[in-house]
Structure 1
Amino acid sequence: MKGKRALSLESAVRSCAQDGDERSKEFIYKSCYGYVRAITMRYVKNGFDAEELTNESFIRAFGKISMFNSGDLGDRYEKSFRAWLARITVNISIDFLRSQKQLIALDDINESELEQQQVEVSGNLNVEDIMKLLSQLPEIQRTIFNLYEVEGYSHEEVSVLLSIPESTSRTYLTRAKKKLRKLYLASTNITDCNGYV
């Protein structure tokens, strides 16, 4: 590495956007691999599929990297790049689920389900515990939960992304929270005073 300056994520992204520098691509891939892989694992259960989606996300990102534009610098630049990369990864994951027809047909929705549910999570849960609980949700509930609660999409954006009404997005989010609450309480052997277990 003699004679080569050290890369930062910001300098690698800028260099890759300007001339498609292979060293910069490799640096971006290595720097962001775990982040992108974690996103894909929230949408698919199979490790092989997650790996494929991770690699496809990087391929698409490198193809569009010249379109990424941030006036920020340093840490803020890196955060905005990671957010941009996350959007690409989420879109690829959703496209994959659609192609696999894993976003199952929506069943009848009861309007009473739209009431807000409080889900309090103990600080004792670690990431692996949360991932196990999420993996037990039905595909549509897990997808909507991830999009809304984790990725920060609005119900309007979820409805466009999944081609469903906003009310359906809200209902499935409510169902996901109820199911997570039941799973969480069951895993901790806590009896819920609201009768959800």
Structure 2
Amino acid sequence: MLRIIPFFTTEAQLVSALKRGESRAHKVVYERYAGKMLAVCTRYCSNRADAEEVMIDGFMKVFEKIEQFREDGSFEGWIRRIMVTESLMFLRRNRQWRQEVAVDEMTDEPDYEWADTAVNENDLLRMVNQLPDGYRTVFNLYAIEGYSHAEIADMLGISEGTSKSQLSRARILLQTNLKKLEKDFTNEKTYRKAAY
């Protein structure tokens, strides 16, 4: 009986194989991380086709730059940083990402207790994806990736004040959309009760 030994059981083995240029390692990296990295790219690129293109470019960069991975941190984290960088480069090349929209100050705060129980992850991701490119980019970098405003300003070539402003406006739009979702939910619930 032929016994199959698992290939690349550790991250270090996988990285070593990549550095040797083994094509099987390329396939394993892609299969292991593509889903997570597509999610990262989708947060920056509102169009799935664009996100897929950015992800492919990101993996090409991973394979080209593997010698730069120092193995003192997480390999997945290193890949993620490349995907974020590729997403930002895509936005710079293809969009006017610094766009702003006028937002009236919110007068009502959403009911966050309601949001905790009634809003699912897909609703939240959809709301984030509907933000204008600049707001979405800063929101993702700050709230999801954990970069500081100084780091975001450096990455995007903007001032810290602009980064803070974009984040503030993103939050206002998200709160507005959350309030609208709450109102729609309440109206639908009231309609259903009246129908019975």
- The verdict on a shared fold, with TM-score over 0.5 as the criterion, is yes
Write out per-residue CA displacement over residues 82-124 of structure 1, whole angstroms, 9 at most, x where no aligned residue.
111111111111111111133135689xxx9xxxx99955254
Q: Which runs of 5+ in 1 are unaligned?
A: 72-76, 191-197
Name 2:134's counterpart in structure 1: 140
The 5 Å alignment of 1:47-196 reads: 47-71=48-72, 80-105=74-99, 120=112, 122=116, 124-189=118-183
Gaps of 5+ in 2: 185-196
Aligned amino acid, residue 55 of structure 1: I
**Change over 3 Å in CA distance of 1:5–1:135 after alignment to 2:** closer
Count the aligned residue pairs.
Answer: 176
State the TM-score, normalized to the length of structure 2. 0.80
Cα distance change on mapping 1:9 and 1:52 into 2, 3 Å: farther
- 2:135 touches 2:170 (CA, 8 Å); kept in 1? yes
Cα distance in 2 for residues equivalent to 1:122 and 1:138: 24
Output one character per residue of 1:26-67: Cα deviation in whole Å (capped at 9) or x when no partner: 001000000110011001121211111010000001111121
Is the 8 Å Cα contact of residues 40 and 83 (structure 2) preserved in structure 1? yes
Tell me which stretches of 4 or more aligned residues in structure 1 moved more than 4 Å.
1-4, 105-108, 117-121
Counterpart CA distance in 2 for 1:170 and 1:46 is: 25
TM-score under structure 1 length normalisation: 0.79
Partner residue of 2:15 out of 3, 13, 19: 13
- 93 and 9 in structure 1: CA distance in 2 versus 1, 3 angstrom threshold: farther
- Tell whether the 8 Å contact from 2:110 to 2:178 is kept in structure 1 after alignment: no
Query: Residues 178, 105 of structure 1: CA spacing in aligned structure 2 closer, same or farther, 3 A cutoff?
Result: closer
Matched residue SS, 1:189: helix
- Pick the structure with greater CA Rg: 2
**How large is the Cα RMSD of the aligned pairs?**
2.7
Separation in 2 of the partners of 1:61 and 1:9? 18
Report the secondary structure of 1:57's partner residue: helix
Deviation at 1:14, TM superposition (A): 2.4
